């Protein structure tokens, strides 16, 4: 393998050696990987179904309106207070016809489910087949909603009587199991395969919240790491499919705020080669039998596998993560003995999946593999088990009800909100405020769309979010201000739109939350930072001096904006699209009274939304973090399809001169195609983070905040920076 890797620099050698290696590997696949077929031996058991009739009162029903169901096999002995919950898989339905088809099967109706469920593998009840978990309470949750238990649409589809209620099903079944003894659990595992594995990842933290704090809770996702990969013709088929699923099922409110769309390689026939792209079936034989692939097809598959592995770079490298990667060309299932634990099971480092999961769950000394197992399989087809556990960085949402009396409300009239994680030790009197981003709405139609999402209503916001990136800033008090006004906290229109009920009150929200934080102890702060990303970064620039005024003179106040330096630039057709867009935003939201007078007295109000026109007048120390090839701006301001974006960089750097020469200014301008770099741990501070003059963003900001030095650096033009990743 080392020799193979060393030859990769030679393209011809790469092609020849990768093909040879794969074909050689395939000759040995039967030794390591077995086809998962059911054995005739008595190595499994069948468990009666439980139809949860009481769930219908909560609207927790399958696609056809029938009650949800599960199978429960009680634990015994030392396993009485330990639980394994296994979520069935079965793909998704993305359209009404798809869901109608499912509603007449066991994947959409409990009326069509078998009365007895097959229990084997991770659900088996003998130590021979399941040595570590055989005497636990084992539950198999049936899948009948078509959205990985994320959907929640109140209205029933009038014509076809379809119900999209997956999230309610998950909640109802977990609550029923809680009453049946899970409330006293000492150990608990949430697991699943394929669509059930994705449900495991998406519901992992919710599952943790349902259990006692003393319980050891972990999640095991099998065949669920779905990557956002293009087809062989460059189209984003799988991305579009997931978009349709989320829209149809109303899944947005139940998805994590920082979710990643990923896909697992055994579904390569759906991601890489959808059926309609292969009319001559040139790929069908290859996908169904990899030994029939041509050398060029194998190379394409190899590239998919490499991209799949690269997605792991975005995952936290910590002891709560585990990976089991094999070269088996299969779609595994933890319920099958030959896959889970048997003489012919796949092995890595001489461990079966059952043994690896047990070592990881029980945190056995010397056995926990806090690294990627099987990295020698880098250049051929891989298979994933992603073991996810919860972390302590989840922070609760605070709804500011008192703000309503001041008219400080979201677009829909609901109260504003924020998340606060208290500081400790030397950071008790230091505060960092991060303002959420999320674009803008320039007209009533756009604001109506936002009104029904977390960007326009606190009723749609997640109750908990992860704090990462700059929100791990030392041991300071850290606040994440939710964005629900659509005008970068500048709007203030007294009248409520009579036809739509829309409120434009962003400036009032900013003031109300800041006053609340002052009452929470920020009035005694020694250091305070206002920050934000994208639209939140623009908020930081526009409100920097306002933030300074709210605090005592003794407080050291600074602001830094990430990806918030939006420039006034023509698009490739010569039109001033972004200028007209911001003018519409300012007009609709009544923002002019909250924009810097030093700008509005000279320029049209819409132009004062551009940082280049206001930054020079800002009195408070300001630090700019941006890419000179800002991903959002290149796509939305320049519209560069087929064009060279280097001209945008020159215009961006020219606009940056608007900051002025003040010594209180700092900036970190790299050449990565990125948008927002402070909220992700990987780009904020990590071994693979972007660097300027050998400084990560975190180090540069730290030096500037603590006044170790003035950081004012601009990267060389693309593609010279090799640290962008």
Just list the catalytic residues: 534, 630, 675
Q: Are 513 and 542 in contact (CB under 8 A)?
A: no
Q: Which of 88, 272, 273 is nearest to 191 (CA)?
A: 88
Instruction: Return the H-helix or E-strand segment holding 16.
Output: helix 11-32
Going by C-beta distance under 8 Å and a sequence separation of 6 or more, which residues neighbour residue 483?
Answer: 435, 436, 437, 438, 455, 489, 535, 536, 539
For the four alpha carbons of 394, 366, 185 and 215, in that order, the dihedral sign comes to negative
Q: In what order do the strands lie in the sheet with 527-533?
A: 464-466, 394-399, 417-421, 477-481, 430-435, 527-533, 556-562, 622-627, 665-670, 712-714
Residues in the chain: 725
CA distance 418 to 432: 13
Q: Are 481 and 433 in contact (CB under 8 A)?
A: yes
Q: Where are the alpha helices (H) located in 404-486, listed in sequence order?
A: 444-451
Q: In what order do the strands lie in the sheet with 216-222?
A: 116-119, 45-51, 69-73, 137-141, 82-87, 187-193, 216-222, 385-388, 322-323
439 Rama sector, left if φ>0, alpha if ψ -120 to 50, beta otherwise = left
For the four alpha carbons of 126, 130, 132 and 135, in that order, the dihedral sign comes to negative
What secondary structure does DSSP assign to 544-597, as a single string? HHHHHHHS-TTSEEEEEEES--------TTS--HHHHHHHHHHHHHT-GGGS-H
CA distance 227 to 231: 12
Three-state SS for 519? helix
CA distance 561 to 531: 5
Three-state SS for 478? strand
DSSP strand E in 307-441: where? 322-323, 385-388, 394-399, 417-421, 430-435
- Burial annotation 251-260 (CB, 10 A radius, 16+ → b, else e): bebbebeeee
Burial class (CB in 10 A: 0-12, 13-18, 19+), 4: middle
Q: Which of 231, 208, 235 is nearest to 219 (CA)?
A: 208
């Amino acid at each position: 393998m080392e020799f193979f890797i060393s030859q990769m620099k030679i393209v011809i050698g790469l092609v020849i050696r990768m093909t040879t290696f794969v074909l050689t590997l395939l000759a040995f696949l039967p030794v390591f990987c077995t086809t998962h077929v059911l054995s005739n031996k008595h190595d499994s058991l069948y468990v009666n179904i439980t139809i949860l009739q009481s769930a219908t009162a909560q609207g927790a029903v399958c696609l056809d309106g029938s009650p949800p169901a599960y199978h429960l096999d009680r634990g015994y002995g030392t396993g009485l207070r330990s639980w394994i919950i296994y979520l069935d898989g079965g793909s998704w339905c993305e359209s009404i016809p798809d869901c109608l088809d499912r509603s007449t099967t066991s994947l959409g109706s409990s009326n069509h489910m078998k009365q007895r469920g097959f229990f084997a593998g991770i659900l088996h009840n003998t130590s021979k087949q399941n040595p570590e978990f055989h005497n636990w309470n084992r539950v198999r949750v049936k899948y009948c909603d078509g959205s990985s238990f994320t959907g929640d649409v109140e209205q029933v589809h009038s014509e076809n009587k379809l119900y999209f209620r997956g999230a309610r099903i998950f909640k109802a079944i977990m609550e029923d199991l809680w009453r049946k003894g899970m409330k006293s659990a000492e150990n608990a595992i949430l697991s699943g395969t394929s669509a059930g594995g994705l449900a495991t990842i998406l519901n992992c933290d919710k599952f943790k919240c349902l259990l006692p704090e003393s319980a050891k809770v972990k999640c095991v996702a099998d065949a669920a790491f779905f990557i956002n990969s293009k087809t062989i013709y460059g189209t984003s088929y799988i991305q579009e499919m997931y978009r349709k699923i989320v829209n149809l099922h109303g899944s947005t409110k139940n998805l994590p705020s920082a979710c990643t769309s990923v896909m697992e390689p055994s579904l390569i026939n759906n991601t890489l080669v959808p059926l309609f792209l292969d009319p001559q079936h040139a790929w069908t034989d290859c996908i169904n039998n990899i030994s029939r692939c041509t050398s060029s097809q194998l190379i394409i598959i190899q590239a998919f596998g490499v991209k799949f592995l690269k997605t792991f770079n975005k995952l936290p490298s910590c002891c709560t993560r585990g990976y089991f990667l094999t070269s088996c060309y299969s779609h595994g299932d933890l319920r099958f003995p030959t896959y889970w634990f048997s003489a012919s099971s796949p092995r890595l480092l001489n461990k079966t999946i059952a043994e690896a999961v047990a070592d990881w769950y029980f945190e056995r000394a010397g056995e926990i593999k806090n690294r990627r197992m099987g990295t020698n399989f880098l250049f051929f087809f891989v298979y994933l088990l992603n073991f996810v556990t919860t972390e302590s960085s989840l922070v609760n949402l605070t709804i500011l009800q008192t703000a309503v009396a001041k008219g400080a409300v979201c677009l829909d009239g609901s109260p504003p909100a924020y998340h606060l994680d208290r500081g400790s030790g030397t950071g008790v009197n230091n505060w960092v405020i991060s303002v959420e981003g999320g674009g803008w709405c320039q007209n009533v139609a756009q604001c109506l769309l936002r009104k029904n999402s977390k960007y326009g209503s606190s009723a749609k916001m997640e109750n908990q979010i992860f704090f990462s990136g700059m929100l791990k800033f030392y041991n300071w008090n850290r606040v994440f201000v939710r964005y629900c006004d659509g005008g970068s906290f500048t709007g203030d229109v007294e009248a409520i739109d009579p036809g739509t009920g829309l409120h434009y009150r962003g400036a009032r929200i900013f003031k109300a939350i800041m006053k609340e934080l002052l009452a929470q102890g920020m009035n005694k702060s020694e250091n305070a930072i206002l920050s934000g990303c994208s639209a939140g970064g623009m908020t930081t620039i526009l409100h920097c001096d306002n933030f300074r005024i709210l605090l005592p003179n003794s407080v050291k106040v600074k602001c830094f904006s990430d990806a918030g330096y939006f420039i006034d630039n023509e698009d490739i057709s010569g039109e001033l699209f972004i200028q007209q867009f911001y003018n519409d935003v300012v007009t609709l939201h009544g923002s002019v009274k909250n924009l810097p007078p030093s700008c509005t007295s000279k320029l049209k109000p819409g132009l004062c939304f551009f940082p280049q026109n206001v930054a020079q007048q800002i009195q408070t120390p300001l630090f700019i973090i941006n890419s000179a090839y800002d991903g959002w701006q290149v796509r939305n301001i320049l519209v560069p399809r087929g064009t060279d974006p280097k001209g945008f960089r020159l215009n961006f750097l020219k606009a940056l001169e608007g900051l002025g020469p003040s010594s209180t200014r700092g900036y970190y301008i790299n050449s990565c195609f990125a948008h927002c770099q402070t909220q992700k741990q990987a780009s904020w501070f990590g071994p693979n983070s972007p660097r300027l003059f050998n400084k990560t963003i975190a180090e540069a900001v730290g030096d500037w905040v603590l006044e170790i030095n003035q950081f004012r650096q601009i990267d060389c033009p693309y593609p010279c920076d090799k640290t962008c990743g």
